[in-house]
């Protein structure tokens, strides 16, 4: 039976609605992210390259468009539009702001606009925790975590680790801003973390003291170039993508979310490919690991560098939309589409 084509109502979902739909559902969100990666690996998604908008007069700032199409049972198309303005933090504002547009796959009409900084942070944290789980299988599960960068993404990753059963005997923090490091330490203490919490002044100390290292910075180019610091073979979640010098990647097992995406936009992997002339240093994707096509060898650092796929935003965003719709709390914009017949 052919589905009916109609103009869908258009809804706007606030950050408060998004937060309520996601709170307490971390394990389910990790499952949604895993399903999206598996669909992507099976060729049932479309995830073209992200488009970067940069500014000659604001060189540290950028805006990124992530179009995507998610297949599977919760099929949906859409676009995340996210900005990163690091100077916001000096005024006490979050660095990133975003919206997510969901499109009806049948008609192409947008049917929802969601506040998406929370969705973006959530899918990033869920992806990181999923990778930490799969990449630590077959090796000692990390008990000492170090956060390199003490912002919102680090907070979300810590929250997802805790909510999905991770427990650490030691938690380390390093940030270029002593104020941010101290604030993150206070957050960790108030979150009920039982492990010993320490702020490290030295990047080397943080890395050497951690068997799970989370890079969540706004670095524009590599600043960690000592492969020897990783001689204890930690698991590294290279979320911010541009912290590690090629020397570090070449001495590690490198897993990404998508090979083509990871080799763009001046990432550490992109710079490493330019240095060596190939991308054989990339051992596979997280989906390859989950499907058993790639085995993570012991005796080397393991680095997960996720570019961040738009399909993950769609998976989480569609879940939020469905939860809010089921609760009868959609805020519909009446008459949003005015010209709805071809000839008036």
- The mean predicted confidence, pLDDT, of the chain is 95
Nearest to 96 by CA among 124, 131, 120: 120
Shared domain for 292 and 325, answered yes or no, is: no
pLDDT score, position 93: 87
Domain assignment present for 337: no
CATH code for the domain of 106: 3.30.1780.10
- Give the Cα separation of 246 and 52 in Å (integer): 23
Question: Per-residue pLDDT tens for 164-218?
Answer: 999 999 999 999 999 999 999 999 999 988 889 999 999 999 999 999 999 999 9
Q: What is the CA radius of gyration of the chain?
A: 20
Q: Which residue from 49, 58, 40, 248 is spatially nearest to 148, judged by alpha carbons?
A: 248
- pLDDT tens for residues 6-39? 999 999 999 999 999 999 999 999 999 999 999 9
- CA–CA gap between residue 265 and residue 123 (Å, rounded): 21
Q: 265-276 in b/e burial notation, b at 16+ Cβ within 10 A?
A: eebbbbbbbeee
In a domain, 68, yes or no: yes
216 within some domain: yes
Residue 55, domain member (yes or no): yes
Number of domains making up the chain: 2
Q: Are residues 47 and 130 in the same domain?
A: no
Domain that residue 169 falls in: 126-305
DSSP secondary structure letter of residue 151: S
Say if residue 210 is in the same domain as residue 324: no
**Does a structural domain hold residue 343?**
no
Residue the block writes with tokens 């058993």: 292
pTM above 0.75, yes or no: yes
Does 265 map to a domain?
A: yes
Residues 57 and 141 in one domain: no
Q: Is 131 helix (H, G, I), strand (E, B) or coil?
A: helix
- Asked whether residue 314 falls in the same domain as residue 300, the answer is no
CATH of residue 252's domain is 3.40.50.720
Q: Which helix (H) or strand (E) holds 313?
A: helix 310-326
* 89: confidence class by pLDDT, cuts 50, 70, 90: confident
Residues 213 and 279 in one domain: yes
Tokens 């979050």 belong to 94
C-alpha–C-alpha distance, residues 8 and 110, integer Å: 8
Does residue 2 lie within any of the structural domains? no
Same domain (yes/no): 87, 197 = no
Residues 173 and 112 both lie in one domain: no
pLDDT at 106: 95
Give the mean model confidence (pLDDT) for residues 232-260: 98
User: Domain check: are 245 and 222 in the same one?
Assistant: yes
């Amino acid at each position: 039976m052919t589905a009916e084509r109609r103009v869908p109502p258009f809804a706007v979902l606030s950050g408060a609605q998004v937060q309520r739909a996601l709170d307490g559902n971390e394990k389910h969100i990790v499952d949604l992210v895993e399903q999206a990666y598996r669909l992507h690996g099976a060729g049932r998604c479309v995830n073209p390259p992200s488009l970067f908008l940069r500014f000659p007069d604001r060189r540290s700032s950028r805006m990124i468009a992530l179009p995507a199409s998610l297949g599977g049972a919760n099929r949906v198309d859409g676009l995340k539009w996210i900005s990163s303005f690091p100077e916001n933090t000096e005024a006490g504002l979050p660095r990133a702001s975003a919206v997510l547009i969901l499109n009806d796959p049948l008609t192409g009409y947008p049917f929802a606009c969601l506040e998406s900084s929370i969705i973006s942070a959530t899918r990033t944290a869920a992806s990181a925790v999923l990778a930490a789980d799969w990449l630590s299988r077959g090796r000692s599960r990390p008990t000492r975590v170090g956060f390199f960068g003490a912002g919102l993404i680090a907070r979300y990753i810590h929250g997802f680790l805790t909510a999905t059963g991770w427990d650490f005997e030691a938690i380390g923090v390093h940030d270029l801003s002593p104020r941010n490091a101290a604030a993150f330490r206070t957050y960790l203490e108030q979150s009920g973390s039982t492990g010993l919490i320490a702020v490290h002044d030295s990047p080397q100390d943080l890395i050497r003291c951690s068997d799970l290292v989370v890079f969540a910075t706004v670095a524009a180019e590599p600043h960690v170039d000592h492969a020897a610091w990783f001689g204890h073979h930690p698991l590294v979640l290279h979320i911010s993508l541009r912290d590690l010098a090629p020397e570090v990647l070449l001495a590690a097992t490198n897993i990404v979310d998508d090979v083509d995406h990871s080799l763009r936009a001046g990432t550490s992997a992109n710079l490493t490919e330019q240095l060596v002339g190939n991308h054989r240093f990339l051992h596979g994707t997280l989906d390859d690991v989950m499907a058993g096509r790639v085995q993570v060898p012991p005796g080397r650092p393991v680095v997960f560098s996720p570019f961040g796929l738009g399909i993950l935003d769609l998976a989480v965003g569609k879940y939020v939309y469905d939860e809010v719709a089921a609760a009868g709390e959609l805020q519909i914009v009446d008459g949003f589409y005015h010209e709805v017949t071809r000839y008036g």
